[in-house]
């Protein structure tokens, strides 16, 4: 017995007492797609809710009785404090006079060349440098 294409579906189903595998997959894909779409929708809705709640929470904390003119600007003002990358410490130079090398913490904040210099001397150099800096600052002021 042969069934004609298109019209024989019902007959095949009856014969095997279960839907064609392709139908099963199609149903699974459809239901999965629906679930996925619903999940994405929920997720987006939740995220929007969170952002809105945060914006309201910040504005309530920030300005009692005076709503901000621009909520976006407020968020932008708050965000950089959180997102800002770690600031690099300023380069410190070796305190030995005339030395232009960078100081390294492993050498006790002097350069590799002067790591053998006694601490007392380094301390003296540091004081000299600080005094010179103070003088320069006073001059500039
Ligand atoms: Zn040095």
Task: Classify residue 94 by burial, with Cβ atoms within 10 Å: 0-12, 13-18, 19+.
Answer: buried
Ligand 1 midpoint to CA 57 (Å): 53
How far from chain centre, in Å, is Cα 98? 42
Q: What is the overall mean pLDDT for the chain?
A: 78
Domain ranges within the chain, ordered by starting residue: 9-83, 88-141
Q: Distances in Å between the alpha carbon of 124 and those of 91, 109, 114, 119?
A: 20, 14, 14, 9
- Given a contact cutoff of 8 angstroms between Cβ atoms, the answer to whether 92 and 107 are in contact is no
Query: Ligand 1 centre and the CA of 134: distance in Å?
Result: 21
What pLDDT digit, counting tens, does each position of 130-141 carry?
A: 999 999 999 987
Which regions of the chain does DSSP assign to beta strands (E)? none
Ligand 1 centroid–CA 78 distance in Å is 42
Q: How far, in Å, from the CA of 31 to the mean position of ligand 1?
A: 72
CA of residue 87 to ligand 1 center, whole Å? 25
Question: Is residue 14 pLDDT above 60, yes or no?
Answer: no
Mean pLDDT of 7-32: 70
Query: Is it the case that residue 51 has pLDDT exceeding 90?
Result: no
């Amino acid at each position: 017995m042969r069934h004609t294409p298109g019209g024989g579906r019902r007959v095949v189903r009856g014969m095997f007492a279960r839907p064609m595998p392709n139908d099963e997959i199609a149903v699974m894909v459809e239901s999965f797609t629906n679930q996925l779409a619903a999940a994405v929708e929920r997720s987006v809705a939740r995220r929007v809710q969170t952002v809105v709640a945060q914006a309201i929470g910040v504005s309530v904390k920030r300005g009692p009785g005076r709503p901000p003119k621009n909520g976006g600007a407020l968020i932008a003002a708050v965000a950089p404090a959180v997102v800002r990358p770690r600031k690099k410490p300023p380069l410190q130079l070796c305190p030995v006079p005339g030395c232009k090398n960078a100081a390294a913490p492993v050498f006790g904040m002097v350069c590799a060349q002067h790591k053998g210099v006694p601490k007392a001397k380094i301390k003296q150099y540091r004081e000299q440098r600080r005094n010179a800096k103070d003088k320069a600052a006073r001059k500039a002021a």
